[in-house]
Amino acid sequence: MNFTKFPRRNYLQGPTPIEFLPALSTALGGDVNLYIKRDDLLPGSAGGNKTRKLEFCIADALAKGADVIITCGAVQSNHARLTASWSAKEGLDCHLILEERVKGSYKKDAGGNNFLFELLGVKSIGVVEGGSDMMAKMSKKADALKSAGKTPYIIPGGASNAIGATGYAVCAEETMNQLNEMRLVIDHIVVPSGSAGTHAGMVVGMMGVNGNIPISGMNVSRPKEAQEEIVYKLALETAKRLEVKGGIPREDIVCFDQYVGPGYSLPTNAMVEAVKLFARTEAILLDPVYSGKAAAGLIDLVRKGRFPKGANVLFLHTGGSPALYAYMDTFRQE
């Protein structure tokens, strides 16, 4: 795959580590060898996976002469935090539209990412009802900024378009290079699946480098069928952009929706257990919305024998630990 023809900022500082998780593997019975790709260690305030996508999205914005970035997300959005981070670094104004997917969940004085939006100097935060047309809301904001003489650029939620997903095609290639250097055979990769850019980009990247490692997405919001269609559509768009030959087989898009619980961002007992287990066995912090629920799915599949004995399974850690501090009451309940 050739990434040189696309505008790209240099936010990464080399590959993120791939680490063995011996204590967690033992705690889950020792039949499966668990590894983790530490995209929580990517640069940007408190790190996280969106930095890979924003390398391409913000580069595209700058190439088009933008001086303002507009994006959207949920009230504790990691994507919004990282967009604000890299906007600050680039000297760009940042405006956020936050979707209150759980009624009453937005609190102006909340901790976690909400506090970091303030610290990073976000110019405005608009809060809209769950289910709102977020692109329409961002477009309305863009029109107002244009009228004020600004040149705004809209980044979709999660930076999950073909431009942003390119960052995870890069990650797939990076991962395969690391595995080859480590002489480590990975039998399966597990990723969180939300706005779909990470999942779609990884599938396209693996196809582009002939990695032949199956990928499973752990849903954080939608039912299986709906999520798979969103991932598949974005994978096709990304493969076309990167000129990946052979297409993306529909059967390569696999999602699990059993770990969403009552809804997006709403805690589950399995998520709480997963976050505590990662912290207490490997000193790794997950987040309660994405990586926590994805890890709950990983743990359940291991316990149910979904992976063969002796399999090596890689978990993609997408970051997001600042959101933990908005969920402290959840973790302190007995």
Q: Which band of pLDDT confidence, cut at 50, 70 and 90, is reported for residue 247?
A: confident
150 touches 142 (CB < 8 A): no
Q: What is the pLDDT of residues 277-286, one digit of tens each?
A: 999 999 999 9
pLDDT at 273: 97
Sign of CA dihedral 42, 46, 50, 54: negative
- Res 159 pLDDT > 80: yes
Examine the residue annotation and report whether 77 is marked as an active-site residue of this protein: yes
- Res 134 pLDDT > 70: yes
Q: Is the CATH number of domain 51-159 3.40.50.1820? A: no
- Res 309 pLDDT > 80: yes
Q: Which CATH architecture has domain 18-48+161-332?
A: 3-Layer(aba) Sandwich (3.40)
Provide the percentage of residues in the chain whose pLDDT is more than 70: 100
Least confident window among 30-34, 84-88, 105-109, 136-140? 105-109
| Stretch 246-259: mean pLDDT | 95
Q: Which band of pLDDT confidence, cut at 50, 70 and 90, is reported for residue 110?
A: confident
Provide the percentage of residues in the chain whose pLDDT is more than 90: 95
Q: For every residue of the chain, which 3-state class applies, written as one string?
A: CCCCCCCCCCCCCCCCCEEECHHHHHHCCCCCEEEEEEHHHCCCCCCCCHHHHHHHHHHHHHHCCCCEEEEEEECCCHHHHHHHHHHHHHCCEEEEEEEECCCCCCCCCCCCHHHHHHHCCCCEEEEEECCCCHHHHHHHHHHHHHHCCCCEEEECHHHCCHHHHHHHHHHHHHHHHHHHHHCCCCCEEEEEECCCHHHHHHHHHHHHCCCCCCEEEEECCCCHHHHHHHHHHHHHHHHHHHCCCCCCCHHHCEEECCCCCCCCCCCCHHHHHHHHHHHHHHCCCCCCCCHHHHHHHHHHHHHCCCCCCCCEEEEEECCCHHHHHHCHHHHHCC
pTM: 0.95
**Catalytic position from the list 77, 85, 87, 105:** 77
Phi-psi category of 291—alpha, beta or left, where left has phi over 0 and alpha has psi -120 to 50? alpha
For CATH 3.40.50.1100, the residue range(s) in the chain are 18-48+161-332, 51-159
Q: Which band of pLDDT confidence, cut at 50, 70 and 90, is reported for residue 101?
A: confident
pLDDT at 107: 85
Q: Which band of pLDDT confidence, cut at 50, 70 and 90, is reported for residue 246?
A: confident
| Stretch 9-37: mean pLDDT | 97
Least confident window among 71-75, 99-103, 200-204, 267-271? 99-103
| Stretch 217-223: mean pLDDT | 97
Q: How far is CA 226 from CA 191, 231, 251, 253, in A?
A: 17, 9, 14, 12
pLDDT at 103: 84
pLDDT at 109: 85
In the structure encoding, which two tokens stand for residue 332, read together?
A: 């302190």
Q: Sheet containing 68-74: which strands, arranged edge to edge? A: 124-129, 93-100, 68-74, 152-155
pLDDT at 197: 97
22 touches 54 (CB < 8 A): no
Residue bearing tokens 């039949």: 31
Distance of CA 80 to the CA centre of its chain: 11
| Stretch 5-23: mean pLDDT | 97
- Res 334 pLDDT > 80: no
Least confident window among 104-113, 122-131, 180-189, 225-234? 104-113
Calculate the average pLDDT of the chain: 96
Least confident window among 31-45, 55-69, 102-116, 313-327? 102-116
| Stretch 125-149: mean pLDDT | 96
